[in-house]
Amino acid sequence: MLSVAKTLIRAGLMTILAVPAGAGTLDTVKQRGTLQCGVSENLFGFSERTDQDQWSGFDVDFCRAVAGAIFGDRAKVTFVPLSAGDRFDALRANRVDLLSRNSTWTLEREAGLGLAFAGITYHDGQGFMVMKDLSVTSALELERARICVETGTTSQLNLADYFRTNSMTFEERAFPNAAEALAAFQSGQCNVLTRDQSALFAERLKLSRPNDAIILPDIISKEPLGPVTRADDFSWFTIVKWVNFALVNAEELGISSANADEARTSHKPDVRRFAGLEGGTGRMLGLDDNWALYAVRAAGNYAEIYERNLGVGSRLGIPRGLNQLWSMGGILYAPPIR
């Protein structure tokens, strides 16, 4: 009797305290018929919205891949633009199912906020933009450089650390915001500008002569960006995590949005498992066995998503760098789908 009552009470508490976990995010999403995905309000290459309410970008495409895995339909996403200040509260309050919003994975955000980063989709980090006429190809050649930086940012602290660690000196020119730092770089008050590297590529496009500046390959800090879920729904977290792995595995296996249907006729065991012909991985996730192929069909594999929004096919032209497969000079490494 007592134990039954306890169970009932516990069940009741669960319902009150953890409605989303009880219902399950996947079930909620399926019932609603659309994925609610939190994205940036407007961030070049990562999340952009046209006048016709069309969304595009690296983070946007990840949302589409998740929608593809669940519904087999890239259009079943509702994009929810969120400011940097609102984003985690919105996720915790169930206003979105998933955050794909240029967010850096840190311990505080997981242990402190009760969130779970489902992986790293983009390895960003602080870099340097220099005028070409400075003729440097490495950050280690920046001895005595005049460097523009935004005041009160981690970039300012990382900059000081980096030069101290490498026994080099520099002249700092600090500005209250990014726009002023860029203007100072353009006008020659400094010959180096430092920020997160992905932002530097976007800033370079704002210069009157973008080709006069280059971005050095060096990265001096860690800014791992990735999708975030609530920590109280492990099955949902697992789905989001494996969609990310699927996109990377697809690139490695040569599966793209252009040949996704041909993958079904492959004789290679790992391609067949990816395509859901063997292994039954979809059922384990609560999805269709075609989930991985659907994700790729919805958004493309990792390389397609990268090149379309940030790389060769985009205005930004950011080299793959760290965000290249482990076997091709980068550090992307996805566990196998089996």
Partner 1 sequence: MQHQRTSHHQTSVGCKALAVIAWLSLTISLADPAAAQAQAKLSQETFEIGDEPGRISTEEVIISDGPYARQMVFFRSSEAPGTVVIHTSERFLYVVQGNNRALRYGIGVGREGFQWSGLVQVSRKAEWPDWRPPPEMIARQPYLPRFMAGGPGNPMGARALYLGSTVFRIHGTNQPETIGHAISSGCFRLANGDIIDLYGRVPIGTKVVIRHGASL
Q: Which of 35, 115, 263, 296 binds partner 1 (CB under 8 A)?
A: 263
| Number of residues binding to partner 1, judged by CB under 8 A | 32
Q: What are the residue ranges of helices labelled H in 119-233?
A: 154-165, 178-187, 197-204
Q: Which of 29, 118, 216, 243 binds partner 1 (CB under 8 A)?
A: 216
Q: Which of 113, 214, 231, 277 binds partner 1 (CB under 8 A)?
A: 214
| C-beta of 89 vs 212, nearer to partner 1 | 212
Please, what is the angle between helix 302-309 and helix 58-71, to 10°?
A: 150
Of 115, 71, 125, which is closest to residue 231 (Cα–Cα)?
115
Which helix (H) or strand (E) segment is 247 a member of? helix 234-253
Amino acid at 56: S
Regarding 218 and contact with partner 1 (CB under 8 A), the answer is: yes
DSSP-derived secondary structure for 209-221: SGGGEEE-S---S
Regarding 219 and contact with partner 1 (CB under 8 A), the answer is: yes
Do β-strands 35-39 and 98-99 pair in parallel, antiparallel, or remain unpaired? parallel
Q: Which of 63, 115, 116, 253 binds partner 1 (CB under 8 A)?
A: 253
Regarding 268 and contact with partner 1 (CB under 8 A), the answer is: yes
Q: Which of 152, 284, 328, 338 binds partner 1 (CB under 8 A)?
A: 328
Which range, of 38-46, 99-107, 288-296, 315-323, touches partner 1 by CB under 8 A?
A: 315-323
| C-beta of 176 vs 254, nearer to partner 1 | 254
Max CA pair span of the chain: 82
Regarding 166 and contact with partner 1 (CB under 8 A), the answer is: no
177: left (phi over 0), alpha (psi -120 to 50) or beta: beta
- Extract the tokens encoding 242: 């494996």
Query: Which residues make up the interface to partner 1 (CB under 8 A)?
Result: 137-138, 211, 214, 216-219, 251-255, 258-259, 262-263, 265-266, 268, 271, 311-312, 317, 319-322, 328-331
